[in-house]
Amino acid sequence: MSNESKDLKPATNMTRRTFIKGTGAVAATVALGGVGMVASGADVAEGAPVDFKNAKTFTSSCTMECLHHNLKGYVVDGKLVKIEANYPNDPTKACLRGLSRVQWVNHPDRIKMPLLRTGEKGEGKWKEISWDEALDLIVTKIKETQRELGNQGLCYKTGSGNFGQLVNGVAAAFFNYLGGCTTLVGSLCCQVVTTTMPPMLGSRYEDTRDTIQDSKYILVWGTNPAVTMQSYFYKYMDAMSKGARMVTIDPRFSETAAKSDEWVPILPGTDAALGLGMLKIIIEEELYDKDFLLKHTGVPFLVDKATGDQIKAEGSETGYLVYDEISKGIVPHDQEGIVPALSVAGTDLAAKYTTVFDLIYNEAKKWTPEKVQEETHVPAETVIRLAREYATSKPAMIIQNMGGFQRTEYGSYAVGAQFYLAAFTGNFGKAGGGVCDAGGVGTNIKVNDAIPSPKPQGQFGTIPSPKFGEYILADKPNKIGFMWIMTTSMMTQYPNTNKVKAALKKIPFVVVVDSLMTSTALYADLVLPCTTVFEYTDLLAHNRHHYVQLMEKAVDPPGQAKSDLEIFQMLAKRLGFGEAFDKTPEELIEVCLKGTGITLEQLKKGPVLATPDPYIPYKDGIFKTPTKKAELFVPMWKSKGFNPVVTYIRPNEFIYGDRQLAAKYPLMAVQRKINRTIHSTFGTLPWICEATGSTPHVLIHPEDAAARGIKDGDRVVVYNDRGEHRCVADVKAHIKKGIVALENGWWEQQGGSSSYVTSDFVEPLGGGHSCNNTLVEIRKEA
């Protein structure tokens, strides 16, 4: 909106009344129907104000799939009374969610004892049992399953609800001590980044957040850092104040788009076409950085036309061959004194060989600006301008950050297209440049597993995460008799939720470990109460923050809630796993830290920076691949029957894909992350509900709404063949016409997850999740 915004007249419909009311910010009192959810303020908000002056302070971390900010907790009389960002020991500040954890710890609806189902699954009828009874029952069920179905009848799922070092890894160790089990593979969040980035660049979790403020051009591509990278967003503003241009590509006029110079709406799942179209301009107008391409990328590597494979010097894993323009011969890419040819088109070699550059250009050249416009709805002139701006404003940074663009049917190619753009323009390895992924401690130091995991006693089969429901219902690959779910809420996060629900009902014994009665716990046979942050000791050293942090126990958990670690330790004792699990948290933290150069004593004084500052991934163009170059040809894609270079494949669940389906369900739905939750975490805390609202919404364009007789604030049903999602219409032109934005993370007790309608298609190149290629229709609730 850059050009228009300069002439933009202030909204004229603002009155004093609307100013006082604001919009959306004043939530009505929370109304949570269903099982055991109350909407009253937590008890910390009651009674006489607490005097924080004499409080004892402890530090911990906000450990779900977010930025892992260090937190300072205030304790008075054994009760957690306030949480603040531990600034400046952590130089970025925790957000409203982190501060609200005080209400999580003190939540009146905490689960305090193991709960055994007495009614139907999902009915919410339970009886409290003792830990001894619960553990005996679990051991019995495990043994029964092993006897009747074999180890493949066991399954577990950990998620991103807790990245503590003594949590998820311990589950993996535990199930391997049992001999192994059926496992779920592929993260719902960023699987295709995990499978695309390492073969191309040599690693994952390489974030450029330290130098955002040095960028001259920030291309925010299908992600919304104003919400999902919020504590670093001031750096974007800093860059802009120094003259950087920021452009946001998103179907929705996001919070980030609102801060950008330009919003580029796009059809979901078409990002690779836009990327290739931009690359075509960059190649044809010779805006690429030839020196960088030759020195630091594999685009000159020769490809045998007969086999379609890159050729290598005999006996060498990394000895890719290139055509040397000086000696006019085929030589290893890393030989001194050569000038590799980008292209061999038009030479004698062309009969037998091509180069990676030629392969890439062959894909890019199909995407004329006009064709890109047809496919993506990004105007042709915008495609040309974006390409020129991005290639000539240096350093330029692409913000990828596990964005929604890659949760699409061929998301791997969209991820790859962004890497191509950064490589072709020589933006990698420079302050203010590169491609921003999530990143953190694990990229630079190796933190050990707390409990070394034995090798499983066989291969028991895998379930692609998006297909959890379908696979379980079809006993594919195995009939599952026992399921353990922790640190995740499948009933809010997994696509095609009706199938997930049916699957949880089908599995004879489901254990859910959680601290509150989550949407998933509702469908358990046994719920085990666990601790939350500030109630147990742990180590946080993962891929989201540059600091290693000690998570201190500040208060006792309610009732008989136990840490995930302790639960496994108790079970390990019953199952006779020996001493491996039998250590204190502090001892296990020492194990984790061994060899890192960081000590527990150091961490007791505060978070420890474990990443070079500023961190510049692939500094000076040195990549972490075997060749140390960006390898833009991905053999793994070829082995799966796909083009080894980035290609655009039209999604199926898309208006131009399956036309019959699109006629029935003509609206494209994307699923957005909202300020109130991280996935579903925090979703029922009173302060969060009060500040951000407690009702799911769907954002719909005024023209799409009018065509369906829907007005702003109407209750509507979003539906397709998979199911329906009931919510409230937010009618605004803040989304491209023809697309609607669903909100991620709503609990069953709040009306249910929008994932009831989202696609469970498995992205075929990397095994990813494609919720953002979902077709729906919307009707007014009768």
Partner 1 sequence: MAKQVGFYMNMANCYGCQTCQVACKSEQQTAPAVSFRRVRQFNNDYPVMHATLSMGCNHCEKPQCLVNCPVGAYTKLDNGIVYQDHSKCIGCRMCVMACPYGVPQYDPEEGKTSKCSYCKERIDQGLQPRCVEACPGGNLAAGDLEELKAKYSGVQEFPGMPAAAITNPSIIINPAKAFKK
Query: Residue 631 to residues 202, 288, 289, 364, 368: CA-CA distances in angstroms?
Result: 8, 17, 16, 17, 25
**Angle value at C-alpha 287, between 283 and 293, nearest 5 degrees:** 75
To partner 1, the closest distance from the beta carbon of 550 in angstroms equals: 22
For partner 1, the binding residues (CB under 8 A) are 1, 4-5, 8, 10-12, 14-16, 18-30, 39-41, 44-45, 49-50, 53, 82-85, 87, 92-96, 99-100, 102, 226-227, 230-231, 233-234, 237, 253, 255-256, 258-259, 263, 675, 686-688, 690-692, 702, 732-734
Shortest distance in whole angstroms from residue 220 CB to partner 1: 12
Shortest approach of partner 1 to residue 701 CB, angstroms? Answer: 9
Q: Which is nearer to partner 1, 11 or 306 (CB)?
A: 11
User: Using CA of residue 373, residue 379, residue 382, residue 384, what is the dihedral sign?
Assistant: positive
Closest CB 50 distance from partner 1, rounded Å: 7
Q: How far is the CB of 80 from partner 1 (least distance, A)?
A: 11
Tell me 465's DSSP state: G
Is 160 in contact with 487 (CB distance < 8 Å)?
Answer: yes
Per the CB < 8 A criterion, the answer to whether 510 and 500 are in contact is no
Contacts for 230-236 with beta carbons within 8 Å, 24 or more apart?
A: 230/67, 230/95, 231/67, 231/69, 231/92, 231/93, 231/94, 231/95, 232/67, 232/92, 233/259, 235/209, 236/212
Residue 723 Cβ, how far from partner 1 at the closest point, in Å? 30
Least distance (Å) between residue 230 CB and partner 1: 5
3-state secondary structure 540-574: ECCCCCCEEEEECCCCCCCCCCECHHHHHHHHHHH
CB-nearer residue toward partner 1: 433 or 686: 686
> For residues 2 and 327, which CB has a smaller minimum distance to partner 1 in the complex?
2
Of 450 and 735, nearer to partner 1 (C-beta) is: 735
Spatial distance between the Cα atoms of 736 and 176, rounded to a whole number of angstroms: 48
CB closer to partner 1, 470 vs 690: 690
Smaller CB distance to partner 1: residue 548 or 689?
689
Cα–Cα distance between 455 and 512 in angstroms, integer?
25
Q: What is the per-residue DSSP string for 371-426?
A: HHHHHH---HHHHHHHHHHHHHSSSEEEE-TT-GGGSSTTHHHHHHHHHHHHHHTT
Q: How far is the CB of 26 from partner 1 (least distance, A)?
A: 7
Verify cis geometry, omega within 30 degrees of 0, for the bond prior to 666. no
Beta strands in 638-692 (DSSP E): 667-672
546: Cβ contacts below 8 Å, ≥ 6 apart: 210, 439, 440, 441, 609, 610, 611, 613, 615
Q: CB of 248: closest distance to partner 1 in angstroms?
A: 12
**30/276 with CB nearer partner 1:** 30
Nearer to partner 1, 524 or 685 (CB): 685
**Least Cβ distance, residue 499 to partner 1 (angstroms):** 35
182/694 with CB nearer partner 1: 694
Q: State which residue, 25 or 474, has the beta carbon closest to partner 1.
A: 25
Residue 108: name the closest of 39, 31, 32, 59 by CA. 39
One-letter amino acid at 724 equals E
Q: Burial of 121 by CB count in 10 Å (0-12 exposed, 13-18 middle, 19+ buried)?
A: middle
8 Å CB contact between 687 and 103: yes
Residue 225 identity (one-letter amino acid): P
Single-letter code of the amino acid located at 422: A
Least separation in angstroms between residue 157's CB and partner 1 is: 31
- The residue (of 4 and 314) whose beta carbon lies closer to partner 1 is 4
How far apart (Å, rounded) are the C-alpha atoms in residues 90 and 109? 31
Q: How far is the CB of 255 from partner 1 (least distance, A)?
A: 6
Q: Where are the alpha helices (DSSP H) in 594-726?
A: 600-605, 635-639, 659-664, 686-692, 702-707
Answer for the pair 635, 309: CB distance below 8 angstroms, yes or no: yes
Nearer to partner 1, 91 or 614 (CB): 91
Please identify, using beta-carbon distances, which residue of 41 and 199 lies nearer to partner 1. Answer: 41
CB atoms within 10 A of CB 187: 18
Alpha helices (H) along 669-759: 686-692, 702-707
> In the bound complex, what is the minimum distance in angstroms from residue 740's beta carbon to partner 1?
16
| DSSP-assigned letter for residue 8 | P
Rounded least distance, CB 8 to partner 1, Å: 5
Q: Tell me the two tokens of residue 746.
A: 């709503």
- Pick between residue 15 and residue 639 the one whose CB is nearest to partner 1: 15
